[in-house]
Structure 1
Amino acid sequence: MAFGEDTFLFLRQLSENNNRDWFNEHKDEYEACVREPAFSFIEAVAPNLEKLSPHFMAKASNMGGSLMRVYRDVRFSKNKTPYKTNIGIQFRHEQGKDVHAPGFYVHIEPSRVFIGVGKWSPHADGLKMIRQHIDTFPQSWLDAKSDEKFLKHFKLSGESLKRAPKGYPLDHPMIEELKRKDFIAIADIPPELVLEEDFADIVMGYFELGAPYVKELCRAVRVPF
């Protein structure tokens, strides 16, 4: 089962009716329009992702799987709407327990679809390891992040420090990379591609372009690729 126009329709309706009563009344539609096609997509990606690297999980399951929860964590947010109005699918590293692990990501909403690769908001220890890696192996890092084919489709994104991180001089030749707090790259794609039967193959093409960048991050935090 592939994603269809009904997937986008449901997400639009959820955006307009983001409350528990409406969602509970339309839970069958969520299952049919979001969860089931998402699981089919994950299963379609799995064999080719394993060929790319056996260390990233493509798991179609309700608990601990690649499909991210529809429920928002509103504990520390001013926005108290209970549901996410996008589909988030993360193929994270087997040694990672959350979204802060190196991984591959697909974001689907009616107005925007993008492919993400890298490591978002690494914890303090991971951030320290990445910075040490950039400092020690600057050319290897530059080769991974500056590949021509990679940059043709992906744009490096995320937050950065305004000042040099502790322990590094402001005139360090890699200072802009060392100032990064996120190590992610984003490729926006036309939303209509989600509706194609070969959407999983399209996504894998982007994952392959981003693989050297993810591989370098895995090397930095000392996990296998």
Structure 2
Amino acid sequence: MFSGNTFTFLDELAANNNREWFEANKARYESLVREPSLAFIAAMAPALADFAPHFRADPRKMGGSLMRVFRDTRFSRDKTPYKNNIGIQFRHALGKDVHAPGFYLHIAGDGCFLGVGSWHPEADALGKIRDRIAEDPERWFAVRDNKKFSSLWALTGDSLTRPPRGYAADHPAIEDLKRKDFIALASLSPAEIIGPELTKLATTRFSAGAPLVAFLCAAVGVAY
């Protein structure tokens, strides 16, 4: 699938982030980024069907699990046109964007990781997640503090500095209720990315992170 040349391409793209360079190197993008990404996505499909049947491994070139290489520069001061990373997201069948609960792989020259959970959930979903934690903190703690989960994953993301409106400051889960992201990350080395066991490794870690995704699905009212 991926190789050391994949990282070389991503580093060169970061140093030459313009349309002329990308067009001249488009064949390398296809062979070093898109093709191995789609192969990984296809290889993950049976595993997802087993432990997360409502999530999709979609190996289409456009509109599937592989995220677009083109950056959305409309509201950014950074007008460079391309992402210098690979983003692969296995979304819920009902999820339409990156904010929905899901499983994620990130590959870049400055760091690689797996992710599970909801990144920047929209206000309605965020409120439902917080309410679920507030109403049943023990169930949340059982997910958060599970030894298998915590040995492989670390909760991270943005948080409020003060308790959100409507939640008691002395609630036993107040630090988690402050979260604006409900994501967990697991670092990967470049050697693991290019190694022969990437699919197996991702399956093992995603399976261990599945209880977090299941909790979030229940909170927002979709089947896990």
Counterpart for residue 195 of structure 1: 194
Q: Take 1:54 and 1:172, find their aligned partners in 2: how far apart are those partners?
A: 34
- What is the Cα deviation at residue 116 of structure 1? 0.2
1:39: Cα distance to partner?
0.3
Amino acid at match of 2:180: K
TM-score by length of 2: 0.98
Tell me the residue number matched to 1:83: 82
Instruction: Tell me the residue number matched to 2:64.
Output: 65
Task: Write the letter of the residue equivalent to 1:139.
Answer: E
Q: Shift in Å at residue 22 of structure 1?
A: 0.3
Local SS of the residue matching 2:88:
strand
- 1:58 Cα deviation (Å)? 0.3
Give the aligned partner of residue 148 of structure 1: 147
Match of 2:100 in 1: 101
Q: Give the aligned residue type for 2:207.
A: E
Describe how 1:1-225 pairs up with structure 2 within 5 A.
2-225=1-224
Q: Distance in 2 between matches of 1:80 and 1:217?
A: 34
Question: Any conservation in 1 of the 2:38–2:61 contact (CA below 8 Å)?
Answer: no
Separation in 2, partners of 1:145, 1:82: 38
In 1: Cα distance, 2:15 partner to 2:184 partner: 30
Equivalents in 2 of 1:198, 1:183: separation in Å?
Answer: 27
SS at 2:5 equivalent: helix
Shift of 1:144: 0.6
Of 193-202 and 97-106, the range deviating more from structure 2: 193-202
Q: Which amino acid aligns with 1:94?
A: A
Q: How many angstroms apart in 2 are the aligned matches of 1:167 and 1:147?
A: 28
Distance 2:82 2:161 in 1: 33
2:6–2:33 CA contact under 8 A, matched in 1:
yes
Q: Which runs of 4+ in 1 moved over 2 A?
A: none
Note the C-alpha offset of 1:54.
1.1
Separation in 2, partners of 1:194, 1:53: 22
- Alpha-carbon distance in structure 1 between the residues aligned to 2:49 and 2:157: 27
* More displaced stretch, 120-129 vs 188-197: 188-197
User: In the aligned structure 2, how far is the partner of 1:172 from the partner of 1:221?
Assistant: 21
SS in 1 for 2:192: helix
- The answer to whether the 8 Å contact 1:111/1:191 transfers is no
Cα-Cα RMSD = 0.9
Give the 3-state SS of the residue equivalent to 1:82 in structure 2.
Answer: coil
CA distance in 1, matches of 2:160, 2:111: 27
- Sequence identity of aligned pairs in percent? 52
Q: Structure 2 CA distance, aligned partners of 1:3 and 1:12? A: 14
Q: Is the 8 A contact 2:103 2:115 kept in 1?
A: yes
Q: Which moved more, 1:168-177 or 1:13-22?
A: 168-177
2:54–2:92 contact (8 Å) kept in structure 1: yes
* Deviation string, structure 1 residues 133-180 (Cα, Å, up to 9, x no partner): 001111111101111121112111100111111111212221111111
Q: TM-score, normalised by structure 1?
A: 0.97
| Contact 1:115-1:203 within 8 A present in 2 as well | yes
C-alpha deviation, 1:68, in angstroms: 0.4
Distance 2:116 2:85 in 1: 18
Q: Could you tell me how far apart the structure 1 residues matched to 2:62 and 2:108 are?
A: 22
